[in-house]
A = this chain, B = another copy of it.
Amino acid sequence: MDANGADLGPAEVAAGAAIAAERGTRVLLFGPAEQIGSTPDGVEVVDAPLSIAKAPDPALAVRGTPDASIVLATKAVAEGRADALVSGGSTGAALAAGLFNIRRARGIYRPALALPMPVPGAPVLLLDVGASPEVRPEHLVQFAFMGAAFAQAVLGVAAPRVGLMSNGAEPGKGTPDVISAHARLVETGGRINFIGNVEGNQVTEGVADVVVMDGFTGNVTLKLIEGVSSKLMRSIRETAVKSPRGRLGGLLLRRPLKSLRETIDPELAGGAYMLGLRRTGVVAHGRFTRTGFARAIEVAERAVREDVVGRTLAALDAAGALRQAPSSDAPASVQST
């Protein structure tokens, strides 16, 4: 686990690691030992004060800073000294270091960031939310299988319904790449529970357990859901306080709304999952408190226990959706070196 990158600082990440350790998970924590201080049994601190969490070009920073905490953490995972990676906040640095050191699993075109979105009564896994802004149809097909395997193994959904984000329900709707991905997913007939296109207004309606899209659309989607929810909650509050009736009503609703906010608390999900690498990676949100960091470690541990990586590759293999031997233009080495 990388302790750098969290808004509340490395000590808060360490406090999350301590909670996880109490529950029996062993944590190897890379970060500034001075700021982290003493830790309980089960949390081993490796002094790595150098942070590249805020680097403008993460890939460049990873290659140029071998002593950075996230680089050391990913190396520990790559070398088998740890089973999974957990990052304390910087998505860009975690992805770059993950690609560089843990590397893509054989047959995977592109990694994807998957985010379990805690919608009340209709939880949904969104991927990719930002690892691969531009994708080809075969990448979207892999994302569909990666998301389904993850939802099954880690989220406990028996036969995940997988939808493809588009601008219309019909198979012919979307960009040429989305239309082509739709056709390929239909062809996999039965190897995945593909329910067809999903539109923006359906994402929070529980029609699909997994919604697949390119990393650009996914990032916009994720941030729109956060932004619109937050704006609407504030608008309701501001409208309510304008009248005595409204103020009283707001007071009476405070407790129920608190419970609603807890239901949709992003810390519950533990963060976003880096799928498609040789090992599992979890990127906690930089805004998390110790509870969220502990949760991130917990879900990483579950992903290892349930062998998400192995199950994903097996499903892709069975569907004939793995990438064949690298072609001469070798995108694998282009991305990871």
Contact = CB atoms under 8 A, between A and B. Distances in A.
B203 A224 contact: yes
B219 A167 contact: yes
Contact of A249 (B120, B130, B250): B250
B245 A223 contact: no
A260 B170 CA distance: 34
Given A217-B216, A242-B256, A256-B243, A201 B227 contact: yes
Copies of the polypeptide in the assembly: 2
A235 interface: yes
A14 to B, nearest CB: 29
A216 B174 contact: yes
B252 A248 contact: yes
Contacts of A175: 133-134, 216
A260 to B, nearest CB: 5
A256 B240 contact: yes
Interface string A217-232: 1011111111111111
A167 to B, nearest CB: 4
Contacts of A259: 239
Given A167-B130, A256-B249, A205 B227 contact: yes
Interface in A7-45: none
A257 interface: yes
A221 B203 CA distance: 11
Nearest to A218: B167
A93 interface: no
A334 to B, nearest CB: 15
Nearest to A167: B219
Contacts of A253: 236, 240, 245-246, 249-250, 253
A248 B231 CA distance: 24
B249 A228 contact: no
A268 interface: no
Nearest to A260: B239
Interface of A: 56, 119-122, 130, 133-134, 165-168, 170, 174-176, 178, 199-205, 213, 215-217, 219-233, 235-236, 238-240, 242-243, 245-246, 248-253, 255-257, 259-260
